[in-house]
Amino acid sequence: MRVDAPSAYVVRRSRLRTGLTLALYSLLPVTAIVIGLQDLSVRFLFFILGVLFEVILLATSRRRVLSAMRREVLFAIDEQGVYLGPDDFGRPATREPWSNIDAIVYFQGRVWTTSNLPPMSRHVGLVQGNRIVHSRGRGGWWLNVRRASAAAARFGGGTPVLKAPFYGQISREWFHTIPLPPNWLAAHARPGTEH
């Protein structure tokens, strides 16, 4: 994660974090390849499986690696509004102008893609009315709430950055919105309230 410019809040895909993640996931396949290379006549299965798993890993992480090489913007708060970059579920990038944003929220939840219980993940979203209309997973990056709040206050005319409740089921589809509890925004957006 890298934060640009003191005025705007911009998070870009980290080359270092992406490289370390890829290296960590490559440990087992590379170990199998090395074991297989020690004696191909006996351990060729290790070599074949290692190469196969490494090719699969590189194919599935191709988009993330290219994104890191280009230093793709994942999230931004600036004078134009809030930018949410594309995510790992294929949701497209979107930029919302300040006139369409009542609040910026961060929360934890589960994105349901199968019948299995998915792991809990961190998200950031944009509120319009009493619904989170756009959200993105924060896989691989952290939200600096203090700096995001300062940028939102400066560019968004005091738009709050709030912690929303936990959501047990978040759709991976970009067109699904997430309802907030009744009157939640009104109760939490007031100055001086805890969030």
62 and 122 fall within a common domain = no
Tokens of 7: 């005025």
> In the chain, which stretches have pLDDT less than 70?
1-6, 113-115, 117, 190-195
Do 97 and 61 belong together in one domain?
no
Domain check: are 114 and 154 in the same one? yes
Residue range of the domain that includes 174 = 91-188
Give the number of domains in the chain: 2
Residue 175 lies in a domain: yes
- Which of 6, 33, 68 finishes a domain? 68
Write 118-125 long-range contacts (CB < 8 A, 24+): 123/170, 124/75, 124/84, 125/164, 125/178
* Within a domain: 97: yes
Same domain? For 119 and 60 the reply is no
Global pTM reads 0.74
